[in-house]
A and B are shown apart, each in its own frame.
Chain A
């Protein structure tokens, strides 16, 4: 592509990428650079496009901490009609002023195309602020708009409920990309910047959404490519994780500091890691320094078909980087950004036979030092492989167990053997890898006996489980269970005004100044009754004590940590809900 531009003598297209802000920065420091937009920026730059990338969460955070707005001022972002009307060209002084403030100092005039990432945090603030920002840019600067981000996949899954968002955005903006943007976004930029014939929205371009009549359609997604995120241009200091750093201290204290840092970044659940970061940031320069933790992915898609998962309905080709590429990417990022810390977000690390051994040997051969966490499956993880993983920097693995009920495991087709899972957990403990679990409760026809099996498993293995995320089951339309609910004993309930009801719940959470962990479960767009069983209302009532019982099994270490961290930052604060809730992605 670069050669093509040089030969043609055309100037390189210029793209401004802005990442729409979500609520997260009102609760805690940012701690992870944006992965998806970073990958797209890298892909564009490799194609010869000039990219100016800004994460508007940085600006939003400064506005919040500068007391430029209150939480209740954000009410219009939780009003379906207000947002859609603005996207359709209606006047709204608040949106105009807010978008202008967020975009202050960005070179919009100099861009040929503006890309807006709607984020990936399942946040309505992200999804609506993306639409507002895109509309503001279009009406005041007349720039072509490309919109992407993982949240578009969420919106597309529930496209019936969010039809007004889709029809407005598809009709008002140029391209909405629902899947991987590595190639599609590049093609869209060249088309919009005049380098190629424009591709109309009505074609079946990979991953581009369109509207036909009153239906929102999605062309099959493009195939992912493995590209490291390019974070150039971002305010990297905003993503600092403040960790202990006392080079002048005694070797024993430095050893303690290193252990603390790994505990903070990997052992702690996210809510504690955030608190530790906040506490340490207050002492920056006084034995604490900011380090980046880098997001990276080297495999996509899953060969399994767990019935609750969004990847169970359509078979998608596995994408996996070669081990030398992975090492090159990670070593390159580590050197460029000066950090050994990674959060890997693979489908699961041990997806391909032999990869564990190859990865570990390359790490040793290249003399690189990483610390990383990732998802994993129990299948095929031997003691020796786990030891290799530890040697190559693995500090934590998160396993998607979901349930320890043999009946429910069969229903969701999880293909996990509980005895094998318990063995792997023991080995992880012995080797020094923290093992987290994903647990789902509230599956259809999960009776007391099923639940007791899960609770019993967690109690029995409490010594070897570091932490488990409790997720309440929700119906994902693009899953086997969502597509064939009757086969799983469910009768779906869809509500005509689910969109605004969710927005109202989100606004109530914000306006009532609740903790971040109380954020509404935005995936619960549909409810269900059990066929020949309980109603949705009865299920909602039944799930609460289950969640409480599971949380009571959780290690008290994290409550101790919560108390000590709040003591250190002199802020007695009630403990968070310890409820994860949002796990549409394969786990």
Chain B
């Protein structure tokens, strides 16, 4: 992977989003996710963290989800640290120019 690649890490389509999209589109599945998450999630390949995240959702969480805001929540997640903002992460004081130092 090159540096250039790193600046454009694509937003991965996480399984969590897949499950949530289905819960929005299919109310019966949403109900199943709340009441019997083990059964609802059985067909998905999820990590233990993903499973716990989905098991932790309640009615209020699902009720406020729409396809639009789901995209919004999961889009910002793609903003992982890249070299574009490296200067912010690494910021300390600004260094002198080499010429200035030698002078």
Contact = CB atoms under 8 A, between A and B. Distances in A.
Interface of A: 244, 256, 259-260, 263, 267, 287, 472, 493, 495, 498, 501-502, 504-505, 508-509, 514, 517-518, 520-522, 524, 527, 535-537, 540, 543-545, 547-549, 551-552, 555-564, 566-568, 570, 572-579, 581
Contacts of A568: 57, 61
A544 B90 contact: yes
Nearest to B54: A564
A572 B64 CA distance: 14
Q: Which 10 A-B pairs rank lowest in CB-CB distance, beginning with the nearest?
A: A501-B93, A544-B86, A557-B49, A524-B92, A574-B79, A563-B77, A567-B73, A545-B3, A577-B89, A548-B6
Contact of A560 (B49, B57, B64, B93): B49
Interface in B62-103: 64-65, 69-70, 72-77, 79-83, 85-96, 98, 101
Given A256-B56, A495-B95, A581-B89, 7 more contacts: A505-B92, A508-B91, A540-B90, A547-B90, A548-B86, A559-B80, A574-B76
A570 B90 contact: no
Given A263-B49, A556-B12, A579 B56 contact: no
B89 A560 contact: no
A581 B94 CA distance: 17
B90 to A, nearest CB: 6
Nearest to A498: B93
Given A508-B91, A537-B95, A547-B86, A259 B3 contact: no
Interface residues on B, range: 35 or more
Given A256-B52, A552-B6, A575 B92 contact: no
B64 A570 contact: yes
Contacts of A501: 92-94
Nearest to A493: B101
Contact of A572 (B16, B17, B58, B76): B76
A560 B53 contact: yes
Contacts of B3: 545, 548
B16 A560 contact: yes
B16 A521 contact: no
Contacts of B79: 574-575
A514 B16 CA distance: 28
B83 A548 contact: yes
B96 A495 contact: yes
Given A559-B80, A564-B53, A518 B14 contact: no
A567 B62 CA distance: 10
B28 interface: no
Pick from A517, A543, A556 the residue with the most CB of B within 10 Å.
A556
A61 B90 CA distance: 27
Nearest to A495: B96
A578 B53 contact: no
Contacts of B49: 263, 267, 555, 557-558, 560-561
A572 B72 contact: yes
B12 A472 contact: no
A579 B93 contact: no
B6 A260 contact: no
B73 A557 contact: no
A328 to B, nearest CB: 34
> Which of A244, A555, A560: most chain B CB closer than 10 A?
A560
A319 B55 CA distance: 44
B71 to A, nearest CB: 10
A27 B75 CA distance: 22
Nearest to A521: B92
19 contacts: A260-B56, A517-B89, A518-B88, A521-B90, A537-B98, A547-B86, A549-B6, A552-B1, A552-B80, A559-B77, A560-B77, A561-B53, A564-B16, A564-B57, A567-B65, A572-B75, A575-B80, A577-B85, A578-B81
Contacts of B94: 501, 505
B89 A547 contact: yes
Contact of B16 (A544, A545, A563): A563
